[in-house]
Amino acid sequence: EDKVVQSPLSLVVHEGDTVTLNCSYEVTNFRSLLWYKQEKKAPTFLFMLTSSGIEKKSGRLSSILDKKELFSILNITATQTGDSAVYLCAVHGSGNTGKLIFGQGTTLQVKP
Amino acid sequence: SQTIHQWPATLVQPVGSPLSLECTVEGTSNPNLYWYRQAAGRGLQLLFYSVGIGQISSEVPQNLSASRPQDRQFILSSKKLLLSDSGFYLCASGDHRSYNEQFFGPGTRLTVL
């Protein structure tokens, strides 16, 4: 059965800290891994990763994929209170239906 | 870019009452459409997906059904709500290059009392 597991489930840090969020997966016919940020409503897209070892970067956020070890990490440097959110990892698996398998999410709280 | 509309934003319904949640998509044609449910503090669970008009696939056995009467319209329904149907319902749209990102609507928070 396809599975995506995120860790930690929750995290509390102070502004300026650096955090690393983890996502491991077991999926038949892996196609891509996606990271989303969810504040109060709809998840918003952050990154899509398809190739191992190539870092995607956007401001203070970066992500990388390891297809051999079947995991990805999302790094946030110099955290701000606005980074407080649930971070979701999802994987596209087999078939052409575009179904995403989501992890449980990591709840990040950044304190001032 | 795509825009996903969902309504209503919040809904409080008694047990045993019917349900109809609507999702419409702008800015794309022939999308794949998805209904997810998110329980408090949990990830997203895929309920239904559709690759075209009238084509619905169910991912989990449940009290809900879905329909796609038009290319960019996706409806989630129930004849009789259960307490366990409470949750946050999200509609998403993706293109047929199946490994790309999905775009999400604002969601409907359903409370069944």
Return the pLDDT at B97. 67
Give the residues of chain B that fall short of pLDDT 50. Answer: none
What are the angstrom distances between the C-alpha of A92 and each of A27, B30, B64, B80? 8, 19, 24, 33
According to DSSP H, which parts of chain A are helical?
none
Nearest to B4, CA basis, from A53, A79, A45: A45
B87 touches chain A (CB under 8 A): no
Reply yes or no: is the peptide bond before residue B8 cis, omega within 30 of 0: yes
Among A31, A43, A104, beta carbon nearest to B99: A31
Distance CA A103, CA A89 (A): 6
DSSP B47-67: EEEEEETTEEEESS--S-EEE
Return the pLDDT at B62. 81
Set of chain B residues whose Cβ sits within 8 Å of the Cβ of A91: none
The string of pLDDT tens digits covering residues A76-105 is 999 999 999 999 999 987 666 778 999 999
The string of pLDDT tens digits covering residues A4-52 is 999 999 999 999 999 999 999 998 888 899 999 999 888 999 999 998 9
Distance CA B19, CA A48 (A): 34
Q: Specify whether the CB–CB gap between A78 and A16 falls below 8 A.
A: yes
Return the pLDDT at B12. 97
- Give B41: exposed, middle or buried? Use CB within 10 Å, 0-12, 13-18, 19+: exposed
Tell if the CB–CB gap between B103 and A100 is shorter than 8 Å.
no
Arithmetic mean of pLDDT over chain B: 92
Return the pLDDT at A97. 73
Please provide residue B22's backbone torsions phi and psi, each rounded to the nearest 5 degrees: -115, 145
Tell if the CB–CB gap between A102 and B45 is shorter than 8 Å.
yes
Please provide residue B83's backbone torsions phi and psi, each rounded to the nearest 5 degrees: -55, -40
Q: State yes or no: pLDDT of A112 exceeds 90.
A: yes
B86 touches chain A (CB under 8 A): no
The number of helices, as runs of H, and strands, as runs of E, in chain B is: 0, 11
Return the pLDDT at B61. 74
A93 touches chain B (CB under 8 A): no
A59 touches chain B (CB under 8 A): no
Return the pLDDT at A55. 93
Set of chain B residues whose Cβ sits within 8 Å of the Cβ of A11: none
Q: To the nearest whole angstrom, how far is the Cα of A108 from the nearest Cα of chain B?
A: 12
Set of chain B residues whose Cβ sits within 8 Å of the Cβ of A30: none
Q: Is B85 left (phi over 0), alpha (psi -120 to 50) or beta?
A: alpha
Tell if the CB–CB gap between A90 and B44 is shorter than 8 Å.
yes
Distance CA A95, CA B44 (A): 19
Reduce the DSSP state of residue B84 to 3 states and report it: helix
Return the pLDDT at B43. 84
A41 touches chain B (CB under 8 A): yes
Return the pLDDT at B98. 64
